[in-house]
Amino acid sequence: MPIQFARQLTGSRRSIQADRRLGWLLAFVAGALNAGGFLAVRQYTSHVTGSLSSAADHAVLGHWDLVADGVIAVLAFLLGALCCALLVNLARRRQLRSEFAIVLLLEAGLILLFGLMGAWLSHHETLFVPMTVLLLCFIMGLQNAVITKLSNAVIRTTHMTGVVTDLGIELGRLLYVNRRELPGLEVRADRTRLRVLAGLLAAFSGGGLVGAWGFDRHGYVSTLPLAALVAALALMPALDDVRQWLKAAPPHD
């Protein structure tokens, strides 16, 4: 990955094009983790809607242990988002170029941990499912929060409900044939937004296929390239901060 391209994608100086490209790449990662994680624990972890609905169902049926699992999964997602906000705000206070990259480096480390520890945890069934779900939900909350912050809530990557809804709205505008517009009523499709939304959906779907195939064929080791990809995206701004810190450090006598 070219150095300048990586720096533009995850650096503190943002552009609309960089936000879109990073969104597509992270949507691919989220799709792969979500699909691979499902094969590991039979539970999707990229959004909290299913967890809340499942908790409600189990509460009515009196399965309180499963209710607790759903609530804890939601809390893990929440903590991931909370952690992202803390890291970004601390980095901004210190005027770091890696205010977003540092979150992605943490995500890469956690994906690596999942890949390396998954096989070992699978031999300890009582720990495996809850620990895996907690880790993946935390990762998803972390990622969803960082792309939300850097794009000012324009792009989401871990769940596609809003993306598909907005895509349907824009397609409806595109297919609208009555060109007589009422004052103040905008019915023309935003073709650029259409491409962005379609790209997010395609990236998430493609990531899901790759993640499911990789996990089915190679197991947990298939997550290691995902960790490498996220780390490569975030490395340059972090290195820029390290170089700046080394230059500013007082010389030793």
Return the residue matching tokens 């792009």: 155
Name the residue with tokens 């010389």.
251
User: What integer pLDDT is reported at residue 178 of this predicted model?
Assistant: 59
User: Which CA distances in Å does 44 have to 31, 32, 89, 129?
Assistant: 10, 11, 29, 12
- Higher model confidence: residue 175 or residue 182? 175
pLDDT(231) > 90: yes
Taking alpha carbons only, the member of 36, 21, 13 closest to residue 195 is 21
pLDDT in tens, 43-66: 777 777 777 887 888 889 888 877
Q: CA-to-CA distance for 189 and 171, rounded, in angstroms? A: 7
Arithmetic mean of pLDDT, 201-227: 91
Count how many domains the chain has. Answer: 1
pLDDT of 250 = 65
What's the rounded Cα separation, in Å, for the pair 116 and 106?
A: 15
pLDDT in the model for residue 227: 93
On whether residue 32 sits in a domain, the answer given is yes
The 10 Å Cβ neighbour count of residue 50 is 15
Q: Taking a C-beta distance cutoff of 8 angstroms, is the pair 200, 77 a contact?
A: no
What is the identity of the amino acid at 218? H
Residue-wise pLDDT tens digits, 101-139: 999 999 999 999 888 877 676 666 665 667 788 888 899
Residue 88 lies in a domain: yes
Residue 190 belongs to a domain with what CATH number? 1.20.1250
Q: Which domain holds residue 30?
A: 3-9+18-238
User: Which tokens in the block code for residue 19?
Assistant: 């936000």
Count Cα neighbours of 96 within 13 Å in the Cβ-side half-sphere.
24
Whether residue 243 is contained in a domain is answered as no
Whole-prediction pTM = 0.85
- Nearest CA to 206 out of 22, 21, 26, 50 is that of 26
Residue 162 covered by a domain: yes
Answer whether residue 110 is part of any domain: yes
Q: Is 245 within a domain? A: no
* Pairwise pLDDT comparison (150 vs 117), residue with the higher score: 150
Q: What is the mean pLDDT of the chain?
A: 83
Q: Can you spell out the DSSP letters for 108-120?
A: HHHHHHHHHHHHH
Q: Is residue 152 part of a domain?
A: yes
Angle (deg, nearest 10), helices 16-41 and 3-10: 80
219 falls within a domain: yes
Residue 32, pLDDT above cutoff 70: yes
Residue 179 in this model has a pLDDT that exceeds 60: no
